[in-house]
Structure 1
Amino acid sequence: MYTFILNVRTLVLNNHKQAETEIGFLVTDGSDTRALLKTYWDIADFREWTSANLDRILREPFPSFFEQDGSIAKRLSSFYDSVDPEDDALIDRAFDYRRAHGIRFGLRGARIPDIYIGRRCGNLEISFCSDQDEWSYFIHADSFENEMRRLVDAHPIRD
């Protein structure tokens, strides 16, 4: 089981006239730390997405209509190959899950891997799956929740 670490760092550019936020996801088991994501993006948008979806990420069980073998990301990547393209209700439910659990939706427009976070096998999982690479880590839910609540509480959400 890994501990989740969220790194958020504001970098000031051009003599303090422009700032950019570095966002990083790391996991550690105490002896080994792995960087899963590093990007530069608007932290306000990510904070809003996190605030809106954190409870679902932490508590929503993985839907039974997805295949049950492999990581969350692997199941989601193979879903559209096996579903009836005319089943709009099921496709909408899958999209709703992806929107709440997919980091790309929180960092809309950023060029990042298709990383998902959600409950699987009674644990919180962070995972990624592509043709070139695949990984999955079970993380302590409290470490993820604490890091994300710290992000949300750092600054008020825009109205």
Structure 2
Amino acid sequence: MGKLIIKRYNESEDAQFIDLSVVEGGAKHSLFVGRVNIKEFTGWLLEHEKEIREDEIPFDKAQGNSLAEIIYDAYNKLDADDDEFVDKMYDYRSGHCLRFAARGTDFPEIYIGKAGESYEVSKFSFKENWRYLIDIDDFFRSLKY
């Protein structure tokens, strides 16, 4: 299980350079390196902690797929006229997609949340895909202190 960390550089009042990464087995995997409004970013994570810890993804799950891949597949099958599905998609994304934590930033579609009995951070696109199981308790503890 990996440790999700936010390393901060060059603090300022509105924007800060960060390295969001997972450390597992002694190896560091950078997920995002760039500038965000750190107060908004960490505030969003804390505001959505309950959803991140408790929500099951409300879409068809194929065994072994990441949260990001399930969302990606759901978008490809999306019926724009199905208001209930569109609303479910938005509700889940707005509480689990880190892009929502970094509004105004070119932030990738990285998802964080419950995946069965574990927690993960994941990304899925035609160019890049990865999934890391993380220690969610350690991550939120590090945000609060």
TM-score by length of 2: 0.88
Q: 1:105 aligns with which of 100, 117, 123?
A: 100
Moved more, 18-27 or 51-60: 18-27
Count of aligned pairs: 144
For 1:133 and 1:29, the matched residues in 2 are separated by 19
Q: Give the match's secondary structure for 1:110.
A: coil
What corresponds to 1:51 in structure 2? 46
Deviation at 1:20, TM superposition (A): 4.0
Q: Any stretches of 5+ residues in structure 1 without a counterpart? A: 13-17, 151-159
1:26 to 4, 11, 21: 21
* CA distance in 2 between partners of 1:105 and 1:58 (Å): 17
CA RMSD of aligned residues (A): 1.9
Which residue matches 1:115? 110
* Pair 1:36 & 2:24 matched: no
Q: Kindly report which structure 2 residues correspond to 1:125-140, keeping only aligned pairs within 5 A, or say none.
A: 125-140=120-135
Percent identity reads 28
Separation in 2, partners of 1:143, 1:74 = 25
In our comparison, the structure showing a higher alpha carbon Rg is 1
Give per-residue Cα distances to partners, 1:61-117, cap 9 Å, x unaligned.
Answer: 222x23434110011111122232211011101111001000000001211211000
Deviation at 1:5, TM superposition (A): 1.4
SS in 1 for 2:50: helix
- Equivalent-residue separation in structure 2 for 1:78 and 1:148 (angstroms): 31
Q: Which runs of 5+ in 2 are unaligned?
A: none
Q: Which moved more, 1:22-31 or 1:124-133?
A: 22-31
